[in-house]
Amino acid sequence: MGLAWQQGPLAGKAVGRFLTPEPLPERLLFAEPLRRRMRVRHGGEWIADSEDVVLLHEPGRYPVAYFPIADVSSDVLAMETRVTKHKDLGVTGWFSVQGTPHAAWRFDDLPSYASILRDRVAFAWRAMDAFYEEDERIVGHAADLYHRIDIRKTSRHLVVRDGDRVVAESRHPLALYESGFATRWYVPRSDVDLSALTPVEGQTFCPYKGLASYYDIGGRRRAAWGYPEAWPEVAAVSGWISFEPDVVDVWLDGRKLALEPGQTVVPHGIDRGLDPDELKGN
């Protein structure tokens, strides 16, 4: 998912590789200007507002936004005694934000090659009320400029079976290509035997697609899912159903699909909580 997450180029298990004569370092960090206005709310107030945000991509993490301290309200940060050490960027000092502990941090002894992050502070995502680009709320994490979703119409023949029962059959599914993941196939509800699907409690949240609902198929738990109200950017799959090929039998043009590398979502960082609760409080 994106540049350094899942199987992106800078991730620990990248699906591709750089064509260089010498091996790359085990960990590569990448920092770049966001080039978008970003704002932070906490305690019902705007506490940071900047057009000079830097995104830090590091392996296995979502991108993190770093704000110039000059663009943070002067009275909201209080230095803590807590100090940690980043494996690449050195000593990390922590701040409380308007009384919320461990809510922001800064690298206090950066190596020279990382000077782009000097005098910048990052805010723990879940400790803040919300983050915005201009006047629009950003949920999940700072936007990864390298995360992309493409949806393509196709005439391929897709069949889903639970034993001998045909759960879905379509000759016009949609192929959803998403950075860091293998292809997902979505089927219109008209091509699904909806009586085979049992809705289950609980939803998950994707910052690029929206809230996902899940279904059991017979004794196969969470074998299918869909986005009842997908984000506008991926509205083509709104209400459509996708099936997990390692839980239920999915055939594409006569070939049985299997779980491919990149299909499983790995756990996210401790300062992230990609769950439906984050959508509250717009």
Can you give the pLDDT at residue 272? 57
- 30-138 and 149-256: identical CATH topology: yes
Average pLDDT over residues 187-202: 97
Can you give the pLDDT at residue 201? 93
Average pLDDT over residues 196-205: 94
The third-level CATH classification (topology) of the domain covering 30-138 is: 2.170.150
Can you give the pLDDT at residue 269? 55
Q: What is the DSSP letter of 238?
A: B
With bands split at pLDDT 50, 70 and 90, how would you rate the model's confidence at 8? confident
pLDDT above 90 (res 176): yes
Residues above pLDDT 90, as percent of the chain: 77
User: Which of 69-78, 227-236, 267-276 has the weakest average pLDDT?
Assistant: 267-276
Q: How would you class 121 by CB atoms within 10 Å of its CB: exposed for 0-12, middle for 13-18, buried for 19 or more?
A: buried
With bands split at pLDDT 50, 70 and 90, how would you rate the model's confidence at 275? confident
Q: Can you give 22-57 as a three-state secondary structure string?
A: CCCCCCCCEEEECCCCEEEEECCEEEEEECCCEEEE
Using a cut of 0.85, tell me whether the model's pTM lies above it: yes
The domain spans of the chain are 30-138, 149-256
Higher pLDDT, 265 or 40: 40
Can you give the pLDDT at residue 186? 98
Give the DSSP H or E segment for 167: strand 165-170
* pLDDT tens column, 124-138: 998 999 999 999 999
Superfamily of domain 149-256: Domain of unknown function (DUF427) (2.170.150.40)
